[in-house]
């Protein structure tokens, strides 16, 4: 729900401004599923809102719950009305190709969001910021589907609103501990809407999350890292490093051909100067490709070259199979890799992969169930 739409509705209907607070509270704090539940408003008004406004900017296409109850994935179909708005604003500039794509999308784009319970009683929402992704990382299902469009700040924050409603409606216990931008898309390729969404999520009158409970993950776009340091120094940053040699990283992650390890190192140095906050280096474990003792040493060298080693923490992630050619490292190889890092005094954690069963794990979000 975009607050501006409620404000406009109130203006158009000559309604007093204090109604905004009531409606905002009902939607964001009481998590109502429909305007008809807002009993502080007259019946007529509720009916009018029901016809003219929508609380969520998408339809719920499908929800899949893992048997262990620790992860839930939702497939969402964005409203085509949002697409038609973008037709109005950009019609003059549209080339035939783009127009065709917009028309193809009339039915609405599919996006995915995941709710994960890292420990009982806490929930972490993993949200998407784009339909697809243009970065083309070779191990990632989203990368393989290509790029369709950016999501709006409303579509991004509505994923969190949807999960809040879902927990309440299904009487699922627990609180939100984190919101992570680790679904579909590269946040720094849609910074305008992503930064707006961070403002909405941290606005006390709207979602009211603390900045430190938000995390943005990037494939390593250095200009974005610098922007984040300036604009949101309290929001957590994760970098999908995955390879500590330029040769391998460029091969699997085209971003490295633009922002290589040297520029990432300099970007991180600047980030630490401004924020002095811990950064998480994500590292997927690929059998025989980046999981040898030599790879661990190269990773340690990279970390030492950045300096502020106490502010860098490595998360070793199980590779979720998306391609025939790549194989996840075994538990033993992963443990050996961690031991090697620790020998070099690098702190690392082996991350449990949740949601594999419903294809909700990282890198498996590809807009289809
Ligand atoms: N585009 C951003 C955020 C979304 S991807 C980024 O790349 O950081 C979220 C995380 O999932 C990233 O760390 C990404 O590298 C990782 N990932 C992608 N494909 C994966 C796979 N097949 N298995 C495990 N993790 C994967
Ligand atoms: Fe995009 Fe991240 Fe997937 Fe790379 S890993 S293709 S940046 S979503």
DSSP string, 215-237: EEEES--HHHHHHHHHH-TTSEE
Residue with tokens 């993950």: 217
Alpha-carbon distance 315 to 317, whole Å?
6
Q: Is 140 in the pocket of ligand 2 (CB under 6 A)?
A: yes
Cβ–ligand 1 distance for 320 under 6 Å, the answer yes
Question: Dmax of the chain from CA atoms?
Answer: 69
The Cα 299–Cα 317 span in angstroms is 15
Strands 147-150 and 130-132: antiparallel
Helix (H, G, I), strand (E, B) or coil at 124: strand
- Evaluate whether 26 touches 40 at the Cβ level (below 8 Å): yes
Distance in Å, CA 272 to ligand 2 centroid: 24
| Sign of the CA dihedral running 368, 133, 363, 77 | negative
- Strand bridging mode 279-285 / 236-240: parallel
322 and 141 in contact (C-beta within 8 Å)? Answer: yes
Measuring CA to CA, which residue among 351, 220, 349, 245 is closest to residue 295? 245
59 annotated active-site: no
Residue 73 CB partners (closer than 8 Å, separation 6+) = 63, 64, 112, 113, 114, 115, 355, 358, 359, 360, 369
193 is annotated as an active-site residue: no
pTM beyond 0.85: yes
Q: Please give the pLDDT value at position 288.
A: 97
What pLDDT score does 103 carry?
Answer: 42
DSSP labels, 300-323: HHHHHHH--GGGEEEEEEEPPP-S
Cβ of 216 below 6 Å from ligand 2: no
Closest residue CA from atom 26 of ligand 1? 363
> Distance between CA atoms of 50 and 35, rounded to whole angstroms?
6
Q: Is the CB of 220 under 6 A from ligand 2?
A: no
For residue 323, the model assigns a pLDDT of 79
Which of 78, 126, 129, 362 is an active site residue? 362
- 3-class secondary-structure state, position 87: helix
In the chain, where do the E strands start and end?
58-65, 71-78, 110-116, 122-126, 130-132, 147-150, 175-181, 214-218, 236-240, 279-285, 312-318, 348-351
pLDDT along the chain (369 residues), means of 10: 94 93 94 94 94 95 89 88 40 38 60 92 95 95 92 97 94 91 97 98 95 98 98 98 98 98 98 97 97 98 96 96 90 98 96 68 62
């Amino acid at each position: 729900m975009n607050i501006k739409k409620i404000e406009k509705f109130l203006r158009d209907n000559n309604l007093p401004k204090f109604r905004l607070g009531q409606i905002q509270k009902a939607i964001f704090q009481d998590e109502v599923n429909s305007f008809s539940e807002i009993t502080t408003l007259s019946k007529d008004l509720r009916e009018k809102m029901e016809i003219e406004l929508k609380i969520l900017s998408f339809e719920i296409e499908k929800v899949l719950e893992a048997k262990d109850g620790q992860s839930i994935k939702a497939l969402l179909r964005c409203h085509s009305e949002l697409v038609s708005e973008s037709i109005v604003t950009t019609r003059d500039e549209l080339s035939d190709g783009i127009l065709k794509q917009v028309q193809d999308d009339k039915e609405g784009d599919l996006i995915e969001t995941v709710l994960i319970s890292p420990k009982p009683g806490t929930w972490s929402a993993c949200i998407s910021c784009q339909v697809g992704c243009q970065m083309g990382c070779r191990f990632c299902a989203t990368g393989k589907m290509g790029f369709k469009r950016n999501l709006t700040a409303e579509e991004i924050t509505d994923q969190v609103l949807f999960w809040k409603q879902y927990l309440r409606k299904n009487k699922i216990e627990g609180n939100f501990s984190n919101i992570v931008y680790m679904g579909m898309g590269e946040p720094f390729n849609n910074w305008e809407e992503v930064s707006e969404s961070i403002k909405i999520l941290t606005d006390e009158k709207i979602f009211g999350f603390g900045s430190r409970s938000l995390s943005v993950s990037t494939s390593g776009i250095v200009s974005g890292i610098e922007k984040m340091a300036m604009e949101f120094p309290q929001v957590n940053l994760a970098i999908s490093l995955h390879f500590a040699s330029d040769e391998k990283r460029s091969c699997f992650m085209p971003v490295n051909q633009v922002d290589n390890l040297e520029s990432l190192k300099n970007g991180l140095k600047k980030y630490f100067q401004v924020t002095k906050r811990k950064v998480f280096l994500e590292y997927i474990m690929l059998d025989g490709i980046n999981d040898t003792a030599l790879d661990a040493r190269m990773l340690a060298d990279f970390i030492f070259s950045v300096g502020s080693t106490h502010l860098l923490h490595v998360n070793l992630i199980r590779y979720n199979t998306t391609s025939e050619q790549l194989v996840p490292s075994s538990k033993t190889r992963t443990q050996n890799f961690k031991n090697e890092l620790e020998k070099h005094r690098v702190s690392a954690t082996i991350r449990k992969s949740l949601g594999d069963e419903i294809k909700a794990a990282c890198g498996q979000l590809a807009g289809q169930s």
